[in-house]
Amino acid sequence: MWLFHSQCTSKTRLVGKTVVITGANTGIGKETARDLYRRGAKVILACRNIEKAYDALEDIKNNPPSRPDREQFRGNPGELAIYQLDLSSLTSIRECAKNLLAKESAIHLLINNAGILTTKQERTEDGFELQLQTNYIGPFLLTLLLLPKIQSSTPGCRIVNVSSIMHTFGAIHDDLNLENSYNPIRAYMQSKLANILFTRELVRQLKETNIEGINVYSLHPGVITTELTRHFENAFSIVRYLYAIAGYLKQPFIKNPEQGAQTTIYCSIDETAAYETGLYYKQAQDDQMAKNLWNRTCLLLGLKPDQDLATLLKDVSRLIAE
């Protein structure tokens, strides 16, 4: 799903709704938070760097979106809160989820926005390739941990997974950690394809378990001028070349973070998106691949594979009860 330089025109207000956005201290995550906060939602910034999160909170509170006169922004803004979350640490994910479940009475919208692109091979404290855990395994675990709270907040709840068009060139490797043939771009593309397959399998699992009132989306936000793309640009000469061409052509395909946030906002609140749960591009519509990846991820997290979702959620709850 992708809005090309369009604005989400939904006039939906979010008074009484609670939103969790990972990586909301910068880029499209911050711009998504800015929009939803102005619509009246309680927006939780789930971020690794607390200092940057507080800077973002002040910016969001004091600076409205570029079109503050729009009808959806005319009411009172909502609330802002910060929770510490490091997706490269399973311990941090469990702790964040435990705090959210204990302190928040409802979660209506989860936006898995945080992501990284590294230029060297790194392992997390849990032994996973850094991009794989941060971009996929971490959001997978966080979503499962928060799902009971989201379910209890239905109807009208949504889960949004921010992916990338780079998934088109990705593959799910037998060696998920790419220990024998590491390449940072290959690792990134794999993690983004995994996002979409996770979305697809989660939709299937929800339907199979008769859990209603939760829509799930994956999206490509467009090519955004954010910290991640600058890292990407600096690391690879071909990308620098393409960015130079785009600049020469008046950047018709390059979005700023506010523009890039529009697809996320659309999936999060637009009424018509309610009919589009689980959709993405056809390259990622392999149900068997999605199911296999789901089961492999469960094993990596110490969870039993091939369980129905209701049983799996009981199993995963022990990770924060211990």
Q: Provide the 10 A C-beta neighbour count for residue 243.
A: 18
43 in a domain, yes or no? yes
pLDDT of residue 77: 96
pLDDT of residue 217: 92
CA 272 to CA 281: how far, in whole Å?
18
Residue type, 190: Q
CA 40 to CA 20: how far, in whole Å?
14
Residue 129, SS3 per DSSP:
strand
pLDDT of residue 40: 97
Strand pairing report for 157-162 and 42-47: unpaired
* C-alpha radius of gyration, the chain, whole number: 19
Reply yes or no on whether the pLDDT at 234 is more than 60. no
Mean predicted confidence (pLDDT) in 292-313: 96
* Domain that residue 140 falls in: 18-319
Percent of the chain surpassing pLDDT 70: 80
Q: What is the pLDDT of residues 271-282, one digit of tens each?
A: 777 666 655 434
Mean predicted confidence (pLDDT) in 170-182: 87
Residues 6+ apart with CB under 8 A from 47: 22, 23, 24, 25, 53, 56, 82, 83, 84, 85, 114
Reply yes or no on whether the pLDDT at 86 is more than 90. yes
Reported as a pLDDT band with limits 50, 70 and 90, residue 7 is confident
97 in a domain, yes or no? yes
Stretch among 7-11, 150-154, 282-286 having the lowest mean pLDDT = 282-286
152 in a domain, yes or no? yes
Give the residues across from 214 on adjacent strands: 157
Q: Give the residue, 118 or 156, on which the prediction is more confident.
A: 156
Reported as a pLDDT band with limits 50, 70 and 90, residue 283 is very low
Stretch among 148-162, 244-258, 288-302 having the lowest mean pLDDT = 244-258
Give catalytic status of residue 188 as yes or no.
yes
Tokens 């802002």 belong to 80
CATH number assigned to the domain comprising residue 191 = 3.40.50.720
Taking CA 195 as the corner, what is the angle to CA 156 and CA 131, rounded to the nearest 5 degrees? Answer: 135
9 in a domain, yes or no? no
Based on the structure, what is the number of domains in the chain?
1
Of 187, 112, 188, nearest to 144 by C-alpha is: 112
188, 217, 243, 266: the catalytic one is 188
Q: What is the mean pLDDT of the chain?
A: 85
10 in a domain, yes or no? no
